[in-house]
Structure 1
Amino acid sequence: MSPECRAKYRRLGLFALGGVLGFVVDFMALHGMLLAGAGYYRGRLASFLCAVLCTWMFNRRWTFRERKANKGLLNEALRYLVAMSAGGTLNLVCYATAIELWPLSRQWPIFAVAVGCIAGMTLNFVSSTLWVFRRKSGDGF
């Protein structure tokens, strides 16, 4: 396997690991918000934002460390938030669908969170690779 191919698999693996970390943060924040009475949807919005912050910090430090943006930290964070919003929208739609159609997910919201996170991961990886942390040469993955 070529070094370039290994680097691509490494990046995908690290992105997935960051996603697992984000999933844990997401669910823990949702659980806290539900206990605080925020409800399924307001709680999920807050937990999603916590997960985005967590995954941005992880991906910046580990997954795309050689591709950090040169336009400033705040600019990169905002680009990441915008990029994750598309995946986040898909994530939230899948979460809401699971909550509404799958009674078990109301009892165990972790299942609905998992459905949403898995659905949004591919879109998030592509947007991170091609836009937020893209190489200057624009060679993609």
Structure 2
Amino acid sequence: MTTDGSLPVEYLTEGDRIITFDAGAVTLDRVSVLTVPMQDLVRIRPSVLNEKGFGRDVLMSARQRMLIRGWRAKVLFGKQAALVEARKFADGDYIEQLKGRAPMRLFQLHFKDNQHLVPIGPGLMATSAQ
């Protein structure tokens, strides 16, 4: 989400103001695009993100840290919130580690001042690139 509204990551450019969970609107320094094998990604189903299961699947790096809050964080880590690699939650159904070596594009957001928590789907926050 930007201060100008929702935009696909492919349209984000240097100078865009991105709304972050931890610091409000932050200026985007750059977007890097990596080509990675499919097996380096996880697919998160919409039913993980909201109880009605509306929306699209989210693809993200298996090593990307996502913010877990509430009862899940309390049960799994004894904390109110935790940053955890997405692959640690792969269950094969709702969060699936992809298979294969087909090339996939992975977009990373970079900020000058720090790493931030960026909303990447309904109820899903992930860390930006360092």
User: TM-score scaled by structure 1?
Assistant: 0.23
Higher relative contact order (CA 8 A, sep 6+): 2
> Higher helix share goes to which structure?
1
Larger radius of gyration: 1
> Higher strand share goes to which structure?
2
